[in-house]
Structure 1
Amino acid sequence: MATYEPVIGLEVHAELLTESKMFCPCAVVDATSAAPNQHICPVCTAQPGALPVINRQAVEYAMMVGLALNCQINRFNQFSRKSYFYPDLPKGYQITQYEHPIASNGWLDIEVAGSDGQVISKRIGIRRAHMEEDTGKSTHVGDASLVDLNRAGVPLLEIVSEPDFRSVEEIEAYARKLRSILQYLGVNHGDMSKGVLRFEANVSVREAGSNVLNTRTEIKNLNSIRSMVRASRFEIARQTEVYENGGEVKQQTLGFNEVTGETRSQRSKETASDYRYFPEPDLPPLMIDPAWVDELRAKLPELPDAKRGRFVTAFGLSEDDAAVLVSDKAIADYYETGLKAKGDPQKLANWITIELFRYLNEANLEITDLKVGPAQLVALINMVEDGQINNNTAKDVLAIMLEDGREAAPIVEEKGWGLISDTSELEAIIDNLIEGNPDPVHSYLGGKEGLLGWFIGQVMKETKGQADAALVRDLFAKKFDTLREQS
């Protein structure tokens, strides 16, 4: 039986973090929480005679994304009308770019696990990135639909990849890296619960090794990376089953049911001619001065790949640790702020990627939601390094800090969790252990030196983990040396 491979292309719709909308001065607000239809005007509600004006900041943000994705920034730009009807599209058309987009012919390198488990790099082509305006938002209540136009006219950048993906792991890696780049550029905050990033996956399958591009389906309105992966995985399996049973895949637009995990047909797939694209008569062509492009290129911030390389070379982190830290700008910022507070690079990385990540995952929070700042975490780590508390106690202290935001030192003092480093107190405990356990002592002196760990454990148990283990080890060694000399 033939084996099949997927061929996937992605369209990513990224809301641009401008203060005002794409073609009018209305404020861009959080459409999930703002009162409906409060941030609208004659332009974004399509009143007769209202004329659009291009938002310069949106154009700059679009060019920055294009440059970060290694695209050519096109000198000649033109907006077009994309005609279709939907209740939340007040004009009856969308102003977008069709034949002359702002950016084209770029690429983005991603990293995925190969068949042997080793991480490999793959280059994904970026066909184009074009500016457009968002639609309003429909809410369906019973038999009625309510339309909120706060979102209508918000600037979007649609980033269209080449069909270079051959697995759902690749589209996930691409989506996460693209989200990270947009965050680093400051053009999109990446919070998909707010609808600022939306995905559409174009999926087809073919016999492995073939160069044929078979009929594709388009899965629309995927509002999270998880949904995109689930929907694509289901559609790959569905199309594979169709071909294995001798059927034909129909070109169509699909929706994804989050509950059932299945794709369902919404309508037959439109073609460009269905949208009746033509140049927007109310906007002149936009000419991009090369000097403007050079100015923006010079102002691009450090992007994830460059930051990752710096973390490896400057701080001695592993590639894996560096990759995790730079994957989200807020995490990278937290780490670097901790370094400024004199944190040890590797130890700080360990505490963030293990202890903080565990808490964030369990609490379903972002690092920006933490009550513990970077300097507070560094102070806790330094208490371990200075021998004031041990590692296990530090984890207990951190748990309290994460709940109430207090500093580490007062918690340690309040709980009486400081390490016991009083030599006389520890020697008394050790003497009692040696006196009360003659058989283990005899075995140790007879060569079973592995028993030292047992003795240390007994002291830790007696002191409820508050003894300085290194000091206890040294004291036992001296006691046993003395016993050997006496025997």
Structure 2
Amino acid sequence: MSHAKLIQGYEVVIGFETHAQLSTASKIFSRASTAFGAEPNTQACAVDLALPGTLPVMNRGAVERAIQLGLALGSTIAPTSIFARKNYFYPDLPKGYQISQFEIPVVQGGEVGFLLGEEKRTVRLVRAHLEEDAGKSVHEGFIGQSGIDLNRAGTPLLEIVTEPDMRSTEEAVAYAKELHKIVTWIGICDGNMQEGSFRCDANVSVRKPGAPLGIRREIKNLNSFKFMQQAIDFEIRWQIEQIEDGHAIEQATVLFDPDTGETRAMRTKEDAADYRYFPDPDLPPLVISADWIERVRAGMPELPRLMAARFVADYGLPEYDATTLTQSKTMAAFFEATARVCGNAKLASNWIMGEVSRRANALDLGFDALPITSGQLAQLIGRIGDGTISNNAGKQVFEALWNSENADVDAIIEAKGLKQMNDSGALEKIVDDVLAANPKSVEEFRAGKDKAFNALVGQVMKASRGKANPAQVNDVLRAKLG
């Protein structure tokens, strides 16, 4: 691929498997709650525990969310898909198998597009399939034994699998962030990585350019973008060192330890054959009609990439601005509300991407929880636009708005005496006084020294206590200096 960057002469190849927990109130095959944080084993019913005689019943809401993802990513939605049993034995897997999809998944193909800096990238998807989550082994608080919490058992997941299209850690993290944005934007997943709602597994391998794909190692359960970056970087360096030292890479599943910043092998990687997949006899094929797909499509929100394209077309924004402003639904809505009222989309974009975002990020605030409203920001931008206040004064007004409730822009301007001097007579008098007091600078300017002009502008601004309009000062000075 053209955007591959080499590390010590090696090309990096990365593919992702992401488990997105679906935002249904109940589990995929039972009525038990999916709420997070309950006491261990209080949300596992007879079906989740696989008690004899229990049968799974498909959750319609989980299928609906799979359809939404397929529509958002331009995938094919299989009219008929099949559930399979993935057999393995682990203490937190009550049935001794996991219900998943193997040969015919519900969502097939599709792609995720995003910007890496200013450059457009696309990652192709292989599939997304529905499956149930396993329970959880708990080791904290137990000495010489483990606890098993089956609250998660049966929680609905969509496993989203990419082609090995990524060629750098930066690209992998940008893909994961874009996918996270899409699933939260369309509301199929709450995206809470700390609670395990969005878990990424990265398949990493290295090779010499043009060589066949290398042996991959899978880094499991990366639950933050920061750890993802660190884990993949470490794994790339480790694999290159192994190969350079003459060792062969073995296919394995590894875990990332945030304390040491290293990955460590957990087990050698199984292949599909090791799981002895076969169709689940308790679940009929999942049939999705064209009508059902159209009903879901009608209820879909405007997608981020389409909204960004509209921002470019309707507001004349650069693509970079439009993409940044559609990082979240609340940010996009805040921008639109501001731009509509103030009538200056670019200035609104600059303020929101700059000062507003900087302060929101510092306090970890979403755009739905800001201490400033879109109406207040629009009024502030309007006052800068009509020359009432300067850009610098605008920052002081913004500071006051941010730190006080229900403040009015005009009242702050008045109270702080920030109005620009737009009275040309008063300004001309100040300019005359400054020119009379600074004959040396006037002489230097006429001798061709531009710095002298800037010095005179500074003197006028000082004499007006910053209230003169800088553009107007320039004009009056140039007229008087000839």
TM-score category by the smaller chain? 0.7 to 0.9
The aligned residue for residue 124 of structure 2 is 125
Matched, 1:24 2:30: yes
Determine helix, strand or coil for the equivalent of 1:254. Answer: strand
Q: Distance in 2 between matches of 1:46 and 1:405?
A: 55
- The one of 42, 47, 60 equivalent to 1:43 is 47
Q: 2: CA distance between counterparts of 1:129 and 1:254?
A: 23
1:248-327 aligned within 5 A: 248-327=248-327
Question: 2:80 corresponds to which residue?
Answer: 76
Moved more, 396-405 or 142-151: 142-151
* Aligned position for 2:3: none
Secondary structure of 1:341's partner? helix
Aligned to 2:337: 337
Deviation sequence 1:185-236 (CA, Å, 0-9, x none): 22124343343211001112222112x2332111101012332232122212
Alignment-derived partner of residue 220 in structure 1? 220
- Going from structure 1 to structure 2, the CA distance change for 1:240 and 1:443 (only over 3 Å counts) comes to closer
Q: Please tell me whether residue 96 in structure 1 is matched to residue 96 in structure 2.
A: no
Aligned residue for 1:8?
A: 14
RMSD (Å) for aligned C-alpha atoms: 2.8
Is 1:180–1:329's contact at 8 Å kept on the other side of the alignment? no
Q: Which has the higher mean CA deviation after the structures are superposed, 36-45 or 73-82?
A: 36-45
Deviation, structure 1 residue 432: 3.8
Shift of 1:335: 1.5
Q: For the residues of structure 2 that align with 1:225 and 1:390, how far apart are their CA atoms? A: 39
Closer/same/farther in 2, CA of residues 342 and 153 from structure 1, 3 Å limit: farther
Assess, with a 3 A threshold, how the Cα gap between structure 1 residues 477 and 298 changes in structure 2: closer, same or farther.
Answer: same
Q: After the TM superposition, which residues 458-477 of structure 1 pair with which residues of structure 2 at under 5 Å, given as runs?
A: 458-477=459-478
Q: Is residue 2:69 matched to residue 1:65?
A: yes
Letter in 1 for 2:81: N
2:182 paired residue number:
181
Contact 2:10 2:208 in 1 (8 A): yes
Question: 2:150, 2:221 → 1: CA distance?
Answer: 18
The count of residues paired between Structure 1 and Structure 2 equals: 473
Call closer, same or farther: CA 1:136–1:374 in 2, change over 3 Å: farther
Q: Which region of structure 1 is more displaced relative to structure 2, 274-283 or 60-69?
A: 274-283
Report the secondary structure of 1:228's partner residue: helix
Aligned amino acid, residue 414 of structure 2: E
**Secondary structure of residue in 1 paired with 2:199:** strand
CA, structure 1 residues 191+389, in 2 after alignment: closer, same or farther (shift >3 Å)? farther
* Partners of 1:289 and 1:52 in 2: CA distance: 22
1:399 is matched with 399
Offset from partner CA, 1:65-84 (integer Å, 9 cap, x none) = 12322222112222223233
Q: Scaled by the length of structure 2, what TM-score is found? A: 0.88
User: Secondary structure in 1 aligned to 2:339?
Assistant: helix
AA in 1 matched with 2:169: V
The change in CA–CA distance for 1:440 and 1:106 in structure 2 (over 3 A counts) is closer
> What displacement does 1:59 show?
0.3
% identical equivalent positions: 44
Letter in 1 for 2:11: E
Counterpart residue number, 1:456: 457
Q: Distance in 1 between matches of 2:466 and 2:93?
A: 65
Inter-CA distance 320–89: structure 2 relative to 1 (3 Å threshold): same
More divergent stretch after superposition (279-288 vs 258-267): 279-288
- What's 2:4 paired with? none
Structure 1 residue runs without a partner (length 5+):
none
Question: What is aligned with 1:193?
Answer: 194
Greater shift, 276-285 or 233-242, is seen at 276-285
Q: CA deviation at 1:7?
A: 2.1
